[in-house]
Structure 1
């Protein structure tokens, strides 16, 4: 099979039907490409996530033509409530929402299918290569059966678990960047009392943080997460001395609204944990015939672990790279350049992650945010991607907190 040499529609196999994979499938199918979208889970899969849709997710959903449908079901949220170790709080304004990933991913998948993508429930077994070593398809497993699909391009959007990256020869880091634990609590009595995306820092949950996000139908997403959770030695490492369940319990004990939520509400199912891949690190982004998108490429932000919007954005960038004129090398160069352009922002979030290790920094920023409209505006700018989060806690940024 020869590589796609121009912008004429071709055949694409997208493995992974999360936000990144569905975004790529939607854009390409809408442009007339033949798209197969594959995932090992059925449509409407569950995903361990905070479920928060911050402004970058709104922008990506608007680009995909799905924002109105999502907002019709999501719980709108007007603020992020930042709570410091000493109980100080500042509400940062922004256009946000909460929708459980099971439903969000279903809407994204159906949206891609509506544009012409074909969905297949199957898992990646291995990639196929032509005589020159270019990826030209994949072998998928459906139960005991093997399904061999050929394509002009393969997009891997398989999330944080590295197995697919390893199968494609693109994995550079086997361990995750972060881990998180979340549960759903049905507590209709607390609707209206917890209205913000509440993010809580304290010594009790150091070096992580806790959260409560209000979802639709009186269901709240509650969880705790830790960034930089694993050591990394030449791509391999082990989990640090972190007990996520103990961290979650400490968060509930420390933060009265969390304790009240679990006291009054009903936990739906079990608490579930998951790995995350952050900061555009841990994998090569391309090889001939193949692009990596979403969390497989490390599209989740460090510090906040927000990743839905950036996952969709990388999927859109992959689709746009394929649509532009040029051969294999030009497509790969275009896509890698687009991801590299995002790196400075990811780097700033890595710098801001020091708040999780040193919660007193949160106290300082919250204190000034309550007193200074300029500081609050810069915090809102972090949400809207007009302000770099690392600038708030740099030496210069901390100095400005006192002299503005």
Structure 2
């Protein structure tokens, strides 16, 4: 897979996306609904393996997407593997430090390799790579999947009488679950949380990533991420750990953050919101989502809850799940037996950073301001705990080694 480094402007204008209404009925190896990180990376992987792939999305590209725009080390590893890292680096903003503030504004400085790329650009890069691999990319809203025996499915689209046939269907529709539930997937549709974000144009120079664990947002955080010169992705997200959680009031919390957090206040004093505030739901806890596979259909990405409950990061996790899904589908198509799709959750558990079994034991550390302040203080005063916290952010360590009394007690004598 060779490197391809187009200009940002070229990235946003030269995508050859067709309309589903102009596409004659055909039989494909795989039809993928949703051209975000999970869907596009799965399409690229399957096309590279020699399969005929139809990639669909309900929107014309480029299109905006509510996201923090931050790429984790896992996401960057996948982009490197697929020859897309240089293009993402060219289109994005690289930082070498993250500053994390506790509710009492105890600051933790974490050096590292951080990259932000606006989602409309990242998704465009992935779609261009899919087209180059031989994928057919169309604008069309998949409305229903109909089983045709054990070997085929028919996908019907909302845009007129359009229909396409495939041996397998992959669903990567993010927080939109109607198609998944019609297909017998995702038995637990309750969202795990929500996030809002906007872009702010400001003269204030911020060279690092900013995370603020404000009292009004816990369990969650607000962020300020540089994405271009003088342009910042500013937002906040909050998890709902109990289904009885009251309304999140994220919009109110976001505006409180802009007025009370010193860096955010100064950012707005020297700038203005360039885009309206937009929101989206978060879905995590894939172990409890329910069936991910039914017949020749398989769900992946945020739709099945791959977003991290620790950080809310979703791009890298979605791409990991997409690569895994593509490899499993390839094996099933080669054998002519789709029953192995049912083993997808077991394989998902083996992926780096995707096992969240310890989260229930650690979540109290994200809920209480005093615990967050105490932990921030210990991280700053214990090289042992600081190293492990840094490793968590780099997706190299189990968060339970930091967010637990055992981890804190070890830090007292190490």
Q: TM-score w.r.t. structure 2 length?
A: 0.87
1:79-116 CA-partner distances (Å, limit 9, x unpaired) = 22111112111112222201111111111111111111
Equivalent residue for 1:336? 345
**Structure 2 counterparts to residues 180-219 of structure 1, below 5 A:** 180-187=195-202, 189-191=203-205, 194-219=206-231
1:307-343 CA-partner distances (Å, limit 9, x unpaired) = 1001001000011112235343453145332113248
Number of residue-to-residue matches in the alignment: 384
Contact map agreement 2:46 2:326 (CA 8 A) in 1: yes
Instruction: Tell me the distance in 2 between the aligned counterparts of 1:41 and 1:137.
Output: 21
**Structure 2 counterparts to residues 48-87 of structure 1, below 5 A:** 48-87=66-105
Residues 1:326 and 2:340 are matched in the alignment: no
**Structure 2 counterparts to residues 301-312 of structure 1, below 5 A:** 301-312=308-319
Q: Which runs of structure 1 show a deviation greater than 4 angstroms over 4 or more consecutive aligned residues?
A: 349-352
Residues 1:148 and 2:152 are matched in the alignment: no
Contact map agreement 2:153 2:165 (CA 8 A) in 1: yes
Residues 1:240 and 2:240 are matched in the alignment: no
Instruction: Tell me the distance in 2 between the aligned counterparts of 1:345 and 1:198.
Output: 26
Unaligned runs of 5+ in 2: 1-26
Contact map agreement 2:28 2:165 (CA 8 A) in 1: no
1:130-166 CA-partner distances (Å, limit 9, x unpaired) = 145x661310122xx1311100110000001221212
Which deviates the most, 286-295 or 73-82? Answer: 73-82
Equivalent residue for 2:130? 112
Contact map agreement 1:130 1:136 (CA 8 A) in 2: yes
Equivalent residue for 2:111? 93
Equivalent residue for 1:286? 293
1:197 to partner: Cα distance: 2.2
1:345 to partner: Cα distance: 2.7
1:10 to partner: Cα distance: 6.5
Q: Which of the pair has the greater relative contact order for Cα pairs under 8 Å at 6+ separation? A: 1
1:402 to partner: Cα distance: 2.4
**Structure 2 counterparts to residues 7-22 of structure 1, below 5 A:** 11-22=29-40
1:350 to partner: Cα distance: 5.2
1:257 to partner: Cα distance: 0.5
Contact map agreement 1:135 1:154 (CA 8 A) in 2: no
Instruction: Tell me the distance in 2 between the aligned counterparts of 1:110 and 1:177.
Output: 31
Secondary structure, aligned partner of 1:258: helix
Residues 1:395 and 2:405 are matched in the alignment: yes
Equivalent residue for 1:365? 375
Secondary structure, aligned partner of 1:204: coil
1:31 to partner: Cα distance: 1.7
Equivalent residue for 1:236? none
Equivalent residue for 2:17? none
1:27 to partner: Cα distance: 0.7
Contact map agreement 2:197 2:235 (CA 8 A) in 1: yes
Residues 1:28 and 2:28 are matched in the alignment: no
Secondary structure, aligned partner of 2:356: helix
1:297 to partner: Cα distance: 1.1
Match of residue 155, structure 2, among 121, 125, 138: 138
Secondary structure, aligned partner of 1:153: strand
Match of residue 316, structure 1, among 303, 314, 323: 323
1:349 to partner: Cα distance: 4.6
Secondary structure, aligned partner of 2:91: coil
Instruction: Tell me the distance in 1 between the aligned counterparts of 2:111 and 2:182.
Output: 43
Instruction: Tell me the distance in 2 between the aligned counterparts of 1:94 and 1:75.
Output: 14
Q: Residues 229 and 218 (structure 1 numbering): CA distance in 2 closer, same or farther, change over 3 Å?
A: farther
Q: TM-score w.r.t. structure 1 length?
A: 0.89
Contact map agreement 1:303 1:352 (CA 8 A) in 2: no
Q: Residues 230 and 183 (structure 1 numbering): CA distance in 2 closer, same or farther, change over 3 Å?
A: farther
